[in-house]
Structures are given as structure tokens and as C-alpha cells.
Structure 1
Amino acid sequence: MKAGFSFAQGAEHPLGVLPTEAESLEAGHNGPTIAAALAKLASLDGVELARNCPNAVALLSNVAAAVAGQKSAAQTQLFRLANLSDLERKLIADVLGRGEIAGVVALPDGSVAQIQESVLAGIWRVRIGADPAHEYIEVGAIPQIVRRAATDLTATDLTINAAPEGAMNVLPVLAEIRERALAWRPGMRAHIINFTLLPMSPVDRAFLQQSVGNGPILLTSRGYGTCRVQATGIQNVWSVQFFNSMDSIILNTLEVGGVPTVALAADEDFEDSGERMQEIIEAYFK
């Protein structure tokens, strides 16, 4: 596995929505800070690297220009790494580092897309499968493969079957989820159902899990605390859970809407990342 990636692989770690407190978090980990990434660069010979890695330095310059002008609602911008040498790929990994958000997207052909935010928010590394040729840098609020999978690989409607014996509140909750999911359109505010405050029996929870199913996307943010975002099997319905330092759930919700904002880069992130990237290029390669 190339430098900079550390993800769970495919069927070895099946995705699951609405886990119990005892379940571990498979995707993501705390990566180095921007200061750590810069300290590593400072130990290298920038002039020598610029001479030996011209394609990498040119790509970083293009990424800096792209992120400086990016907006959260705009189409993402891709920069492929197929023409880079191993040394240039390593340089890219050292500059970008690993940020707070990581994730996986399960694809129809059985492969897995691995996603890693850099230490500069809004700049992502994406690799599809194990082939380094299918690796690229993407600038945007979230890699486009996440949005596509959320639409293409999930059901458009929620089927509500008869509740099992012992159910308490699950049928009204499922009806609310279905109504909101069908009505949601891009630009609308997300609707949040907070299970931390809603009485749900074990039967309710099991039937809810069975009804919404598991989706193809798992994202984990490890900024201030840990947040796990998982697509369900229904379009526009996401499980969003916050964990404490012991990996126990402290806030458990379903969010009806687009990709949850906790996983998205904002406009101010792009401006800041553009400035920092340009400073890195000028300080270490010019």
C-alpha cells in the first residue's frame, strides 16, 4: 500500500449501520497535523526534490490554484497521479499528509475506493482498488465518488413491512424517514432524527436496521472527538454517530439529506488550504 493510506480492505471488514457501542471503528485514524507534515518537509532538500520531482511540484502548484478558487457547491477537480514516479508519489504523500477524515466506498464490481483527506481541508487522495494507477487527488467538498455511490447504489424508496412483536416506536419513525427521504431535494436543509433522546426498544432498533439496510459508504472523522458517517441502503438517509474516547456512542442520529455536513469541506476551508499550499510550495520548492 502506498505511503499515506491506511484503510480497511473490502470484504474483510463489512460495513454496518447503527452499531452497538461495543463495535470498533474501522475507517480512519488520527493523521499528522500540518505542523508535522511541514516538519518532515523541512528535513528534506527542497531544491533537490524540485529537480528530481518536476511533475509532482507542478501538480502541487495546480492543486494550490484549484483549491484557492474552489467553492463547496462547485464541481470537484481531479488531478491524476498515473504519470508520477514512486519518488514523486512519496513527495505528494509527504506534502499532503493525512487529515481528519478517511473512508471507504464499496463499488459494484467488488472493489473498494479508499478516501483520505489531506492535512489541508478540501484536498483529498482517492484510490480505487489496489492499482496505484487508479489513484488521484481531488479538490472539493467531498470526493465525487461518494455522492455518486450515495445515489447510484442505494434504493429510492423505503419499504415498511409489518412490525414484529415487541416493537414500540419504530413504525412512526420509519414513516417519518420515508416521507422526508422522498421529499428531500438538493439545497434543502437536512432533517435529523435523534435516537439518543428517542425511546427505542431492542426490537425497534433491530427492525430499523433491517428496514434501512447498509449502504456502500463509510466515513470517519477524528477531529474533536470521533464521528462516524455511514450511508444506509436508502437514498438520502445517513447514520451519523459521535463517539467518546472509549468508542462509546454519545450521539446517535439518522440524517435525511445530502452528504452530512460534518464530512464536507466549507468555503473557508478552501481559502485557507489554498494559502497554506502556496506557502509550502514557495518555502520548500522555490
Structure 2
Amino acid sequence: MAASLFGGIGPGSQPSEGDGSDLQYMEMPKGMATSASPVLPEKENVAGLEAALAMLSALAESLGRSSPDCENAVHDVSGLDHANLALIDQALGEGEVLIICGDDLKAQESVLAGIWRVRQTGTDGRLVRDFVEVGAFPSAVLERAFAGCRNTLAAPATYPTGVFNAPPLISELNGRIPLVGPDVGPHAINLSLLPHTEEDLTFLDGLLGRGPVVVLSRGYGNCRVTTTGTRGVWWVRFFNSTDDLILNTIEVTALPGVVRAAPEDIADSRQRLLEILEVYR
């Protein structure tokens, strides 16, 4: 009866547009990748692993001191034996964010936001640095994100065929790059809402250059954040569960918010880690 009074609900239930076309809606992600809570050993099975428990306690203390104004805490775990290291890895688990910096540095966020497992290898592939970093984003990665990059974009005298809307974007970017700093909010250019051609995107990609950092964040669909070869300029792309691009933005900022662990999440991580440690006391 309700359907006859108010009409149907959903696709096909409403009349088409006057020009005969139907409204097109952005497809939303259908799947969600989540990080599972770690499965921890029983208390009687951690005998002799005091070094791992001490390291986890130190991480909890670092989480308690963490703030946007303080430096990240770095905890070297390279001296731990396999059993102690395995317990730390088991307790931390693997979260939704993976960072690749060049060919030698990788950082994996744990299931506890703000705790990052960072490994650096040498040219021969051997592990040379192995540590856990506590903070909003790994400083080891951020230090290299724009090393040796350009500080401005040089607009060419003439543009390739098909490039129409890149020139004003270059002026906008050059106006924002000098303002980048820790206390300055991000400036986002939403390419998904701006008219542009494929030639515009190809030209901007080449002009901005490629940086060493790739951040892959899983959640509803995927977010891929990459540094460019221009200081403070990040390319942020969101994909749905079928890997279709649904949001394409350029951000001028010290660090995009989407890859930063929020203070409230770090506080929650400390509480969760303390609860894990309580089991072993």
C-alpha cells in the first residue's frame, strides 16, 4: 500500500530527466579492507620474552607522550632475537597503511594507529635498520619525501596540444608552495571537479615530477598518496573497490591528513596496548 501511495524507491522508480537522460551517481565502494586484532599467545607462553614485553611497555609510554608538537620516538629492535621480535610483530600486527620510500625503506602501520614498523635495506637487500617509530607519520620517510626536489614550477613558453587548464593550476600551485609549513593548512585542488583533458593530467604529472614516496591506505576502497618532485606537492587519489578512480586531488601541504594518525587515534592505541600488556602482568 505504501508503494502505491508514495511510489517506488530506488533506480527506475523516478521519472527520467526532461532531456531523456538519467541521473548518474558516483559508484560508492562496496568492500572494506580492515585490519584484524592480533591473536596473542597465552601468558604461560611468553616466558623468557621479557625484552619484547619491555619494548611494548616503552611503546606505550611513547604513545602517552606523543603530540603534534613533539618529535617521533624511535625504538631500535635490531638487537632482539627472533622470539622476542616475533612477539612484538604479533602484538603490533599489520594495519591499513603501507609506505614505500625508494627502493630501500618501507614502513608498515600496525593495527595500533601511530605505531609504525620501519625497515631499511642496503643495496644488497640485507636489513640495515629495523625499528619501531611512534608518531603521526614516520619521520624517516618524511625526511626523504622531498629531498632534492624543485621549489617551483617553471611554466613553458608554449604548451603541448590538448593542454588547456594546466596553466592556471601552475600559477595556483606556485602561489601556495612557498606557504607550506607545519602550521599552515593544506591547499587542495580537486581535479575531479575541474574541467580538464587527459593531456592536462599528463602534462601536470610530467611537470610536477615523481617523488620517492608511495602511501597505500586500505579502507573503503583504496587511497594512494604519492610525493611529486616539487616541494610540498602530493598527489592523492581515491579508488573504489573495483579500482575505479573516484577522487583525484593535488594537495599542497607538509603532510596530507589522510595519511596522518590523528591524536585521538594515538591515545586510543595507548589504551589498547596497555590492555594487551595487562594480560601478561
**TM-score over 0.5 for the pair:** yes
- Provide closer, same or farther for how the CA distance between residues 31 and 133 of structure 1 changes in structure 2, counting only shifts above 3 A: farther
Q: How does 1:118-129 map to 2 (within 5 A)?
A: 118-129=110-121
Partner of 1:183: 179
Residue of structure 2 in register with 1:141 after alignment: 136
What does residue 17 of structure 2 align with? none
Moved >4 Å (runs of 4+): none
- Aligned residue in 1 for 2:256: 260
Q: 2:161, 2:176 → 1: CA distance? A: 26
Structure 1 residue 198: deviation in Å? 0.9
Change (3 A) 1:83 1:112: same
Matched, 1:101 2:68: no
Aligned equivalent of 1:33 = 36
Displacement, 1:133?
4.7
2:216 corresponds to which letter in structure 1? T
Asked if 1:113 corresponds to 2:105, the answer is yes
CA distance in structure 1 between the partners assigned to 2:146 and 2:269 by the alignment: 29
Distance change (3 Å), C-alpha of 1:163 and 1:193:
same
| Corresponding letter in the other structure for 1:157 | T
Shift of 1:222: 0.7
**AA aligned opposite 1:275:** Q
Aligned mates of 1:154, 1:104 — CA distance in 2: 18
Written as runs of structure 1 = structure 2, the 5 A alignment for 1:1-286 is: 30=33, 32-34=35-37, 37=38, 40-41=39-40, 44-49=41-46, 51-106=47-102, 111-129=103-121, 130-161=125-156, 162-283=158-279, 285-286=280-281
Q: 1:190 to 1:139 in 2, by over 3 A?
A: same
Query: Take 1:152 and 1:182, find their aligned partners in 2: how far apart are those partners?
Result: 16
Is the contact between residue 73 and residue 141 of structure 1 (CA under 8 Å) also seen in structure 2? no
CA distance in 2 between counterparts of 1:214 and 1:63 reads 34
**How many Å apart are 1:112 and its aligned residue?**
1.8
For residues 265 and 32 of structure 1, what CA distance do their matches in structure 2 show?
Answer: 15
Q: What is the alpha-carbon distance in structure 1 between the residues aligned to residue 77 and residue 119 of structure 2?
A: 10
Preserved contact between residue 220 and residue 240 of structure 2 (Cα < 8 Å): no
1:207 partner amino acid: F
Could you say which structure has the greater relative contact order, defined with CA pairs below 8 angstroms and 6 or more residues apart? 1
Structure 2 distance, partners of 1:226, 1:113, is 21
CA contact (8 A) 1:238 1:254 kept: yes
Q: Does structure 2 retain, via aligned residues, the 8 Å contact 1:72–1:266? A: no
How much does 1:86 deviate? 0.8
Contact 1:81 1:133 in 2 (8 A): no
> Per the alignment, in what secondary structure is the counterpart of residue 126 of structure 1?
strand
Between stretches 162-171 and 244-253, larger displacement belongs to 162-171
Equivalenced residue count is 246
**C-alpha displacement of 1:147:** 1.6
* TM-aligned CA deviation for residue 31 of structure 1: 6.2
Question: Which whole-Å CA distance do the structure 2 matches of 1:266 and 1:134 have between them?
Answer: 26
One-letter identity of the residue aligned with 2:45 = E
Amino acid in the other structure paired with 1:137: V
Letter in 2 for 1:140: G
Distance in 1 separating the partners of 2:33 and 2:104? 21
Partner residue in 2 for 1:22: none
Q: Which runs of 5+ in 2 are unaligned?
A: 1-31
Distance 1:187 1:146 in 2: 20
SS of structure 2 residue aligned to 1:168: coil
Shift of residue 166, structure 1, vs aligned partner: 2.3
Distance in 2, matches of 1:81 and 1:159, equals 44
Give me the whole-angstrom Cα distance separating, in 2, the residues matched to 1:48 and 1:204: 59
Partner Cα distance (1:214, 1:133) in 2: 26
